[in-house]
Amino acid sequence: MKNVFFDLDGTLTDSGEGIINSIKYALNKLEQPEADLETLRKFIGPPLMDSFQDYTGLSKENAKLGMIYYREYYEVKGLYENKLYDDVKHLLESLKENKRNIYLTTSKPEPYAKQILKHFAIDEYFSDVYGASMDETMSEKTFIIQNALENISPKVNPKETLMVGDRSYDMSGGKDHGLTTVGVLYGFGSEEELKNSGADFIINKPLDLLNYI
């Protein structure tokens, strides 16, 4: 495989603390009941607008407010309540040494994604970053992957590309475009979720990915 598309949250970074704290802050400002931890963890990965409606029952209007309040906390604190998974930097170094092209394809807004890569000093490994728009009009993983495939120059062959992620959206988005999909078990999705959404391979730790390049 010549190319690797990575998800961010739950794949490269353990971002749970910052995301959950940002959701709690937003729900509190909306005067909504506090959600349990299981519900809060479901927010990690999918588009934020959808999650507020699907998991807390907010109307579309209140979900938009929720996004605004979420970002009040996230931009100042939540973004940094985050850490790289063990060996991620080693993995990226190994991929680069083996002449693989590395791209980020994330449902997180693109400016935040770039800021996080820079914060952890891993931005140098990525040929480009493709993320959601700030208004989340383009946040579904399948559209983000499509955007990457249409804009990477020179073009990459989907048959020579891995999509690596921890949630069903990563697997189904990759499958929509003919990518080989690799699900990671150290993130926020379960083995059942990954298998049911079409994962070709499943790995337990970051460096296991080297077996598939």
Catalytic residues: 7
DSSP secondary structure code for residue 44 in this structure? S
DSSP labels for 152-201? -SSPPPGGGEEEEESSHHHHHHHHHTT-EEEEETTSSS-HHHHHHTT-SE
* SS3 (DSSP) at 67: helix
User: Encoding tokens for residue 168?
Assistant: 């069903």
Q: Which two tokens stand for residue 5?
A: 């598309």
Q: What share of the chain is helix, strand, coil (3-state, %, to 5)?
A: 50, 15, 35
Q: Which two tokens stand for residue 35?
A: 């959600």
Q: Which amino acid is at 181?
A: T
Residue 174 identity (one-letter amino acid): G
